Structure 1
Amino acid sequence: MNSPRQPARAPRQATAGASHRVRIIGGRWKRTPIPVPDGEGLRPTPDRVRETLFNWLGQELDGLDCLDLFAGSGALSFEAASRGAARVVCLDRSRGAITSIRTLAAKLGATMLVPICGDALAHAERAARDGERFDLVFLDPPFRDQWIERCLPLAVRLLRPGGRIYVEAEHDINELAIGNGLTVSRHDRAGQVHYHLLSFPAADGSGSDPLSGSQPT
C-alpha cells in the first residue's frame, strides 16, 4: 500500500521576536533548550500542554518504549527520554527536523532516541506488520487532511496491552477513539488545539483507566 506524502505542517502564528526554541520541562534534562528549525512550519507542543500531559502520565516513563510518529522539533520525544523512557523512536519526513533532533540527542548522550527520517504512515504500517509494539504513542500530525483518521487505527495496532496514545487535533476525537476500541482517559483544550490521552485495554481485557484514580474529562 502506498502512503500519501505528509503535507508541510501549518506554522503557529509567530509572535514578533519570539524565540525559535522550546525547553524540556521535566526529568533528567529539564530546562534544556530544543531548537525549532526555521522554515519547517513546525508546531511544537506548548510547554503548558506538555506539562499537563506528563502530569496525566505520572511524570516518570521508566522503561517504556515510545513512538513519536510526527516528531517535528522532537519536543515530545525529548520529554519522554528525559523522564526515563527506555526507547523513543521519532519519525519525521523533514530531514532538517531529524538532523536537529540527532544533533541535540548526541549532545545530551540520549542514546535511547532513535530518530528516523521517513513517512509516518509507511513506517507505522511496516512496524505493525513486523510485530513491533510500544507502550506509548505520540500522534501530533499536521492539522486538516484527516491525518488522525488515517493514523489512529495504525497507532492502535502498535500498542501493547494497556498502552496509551497521546493525540493533538483541531477538534475533539472522542467518538473516533471509542470507535477504535480506546478509552478517553483525558481530554482538554488549549486555544484551538484539543489534546487527548487515550488508553488501550489491558491484557486481562479490562477497560479500566491505567492512570491511578483518574477519571475522563
Structure 2
Amino acid sequence: MAVKGNSGQIRIISGLYRGRKLPVQDLEGLRPTTDRVKETLFNWLQGQTQGAKVLDCFAGAGALGFEALSRHAASLVLVEIDKNAARQLVDNLARLDAKAGHVVQADVLDWLANTPAEPADLVFIDPPFGKQLAAPTLSLLESGGWLSDGAWVYVEVEKGLDFTWPSNWRLHRELNAGQVQAKLFQREVTE
C-alpha cells in the first residue's frame, strides 16, 4: 500500500475518550468504519465492551478497537499488516495514554495460526474489500481457540459478499449501509 499523506481522522463517539479525534494515514484501501455504522454496532453491543478482551483484526485506522477501549474494554490487540498504519496505531495509543492497547504488525491469517495467550471476548473483522479474507479468518478464530464461550464477533465486508461462518455462531444482528454489509455474531457456549 502506498502512503498518500496524512489527511484523515477518526472520532471516538463515547466513553473515556469521547470526542477525541485521532489522525489516520491516507492509505490505499483503508476505509475507517463510519460513525453511523460504529454507533449502530456499539448500540448492539450495549454493555458487552466493559471488561472485555478485544481483538481488532485488519485494524487499519483502529476505529472499532479504540471505541471499545474508550468503553472500558480490559485489553485491546490491534493486528495490522501495513507498517505505516501499524505505526499510526501505536502513535494513537500513545496519544490516548491507553496502556491496555497493543499493536501487532502482522498478516492476520499468519498471526491467527499461532496459539492465543488468552481467548478474546469481542472480535472485530473488517478486511480489505475484494480479498476474500472473512471466511478464513472466521475459521481460524474458531478452530484456533481464539474465542471465549459466548464471544461476540463483528464482521464488516463489501455488500453482496457471501461468506460462511462456524455453525456454532448465532447471527445476532445485521445491517447494510452504502457499500458495506455488517453482521454481529455470538459464539454459542460449547460443552
**Same-fold status (TM-score > 0.5):** yes
> TM-score, length-normalised on structure 2?
0.89
Deviations 1:114-158 (A, max 9, x none): 1111111111111xx346310011000011121112111112241
Aligned residue in 1 for 2:131:
145
More strand by share: 2
Give the 3 Å change call, closer, same or farther, for CA 35–180 of structure 1 in structure 2.
farther
Deviations 1:90-136 (A, max 9, x none): 0101111111111121121101111111111111111xx34631001
Matches of residues 34-73 of structure 1 in structure 2 within 5 Å?
Answer: 34-59=22-47, 61-73=49-61
Segments of structure 1 that go 5 or more residues without pairing to the other structure are 1-7, 10-18, 206-217
- Give the 3-state SS of the residue equivalent to 1:176 in structure 2: coil
> TM-score, length-normalised on structure 1?
0.79
- Give the 3-state SS of the residue equivalent to 2:50 in structure 1: coil
Task: Kindly state the Cα deviation for residue 197 of structure 1 after the two structures are TM-superposed.
Answer: 0.4
Ranges of 4+ aligned residues in structure 1 off by more than 2 Å: 38-41, 129-132, 171-175
| 2:168 equivalent among 160, 178, 181 | 181
Q: Distance in 2 between matches of 1:142 and 1:46?
A: 15
Aligned residue in 2 for 1:196:
183
RMSD of aligned residue pairs (Cα, Å): 2.0
Segments of structure 2 that go 5 or more residues without pairing to the other structure are none
Give the 3 Å change call, closer, same or farther, for CA 131–173 of structure 1 in structure 2.
farther
Aligned residue in 2 for 1:114:
102
The higher radius of gyration belongs to: 1
Task: Kindly state the Cα deviation for residue 202 of structure 1 after the two structures are TM-superposed.
Answer: 2.4
| 2:141 equivalent among 135, 143, 155 | 155
Q: How many residues align?
A: 185
- Give the 3-state SS of the residue equivalent to 2:10 in structure 1: strand
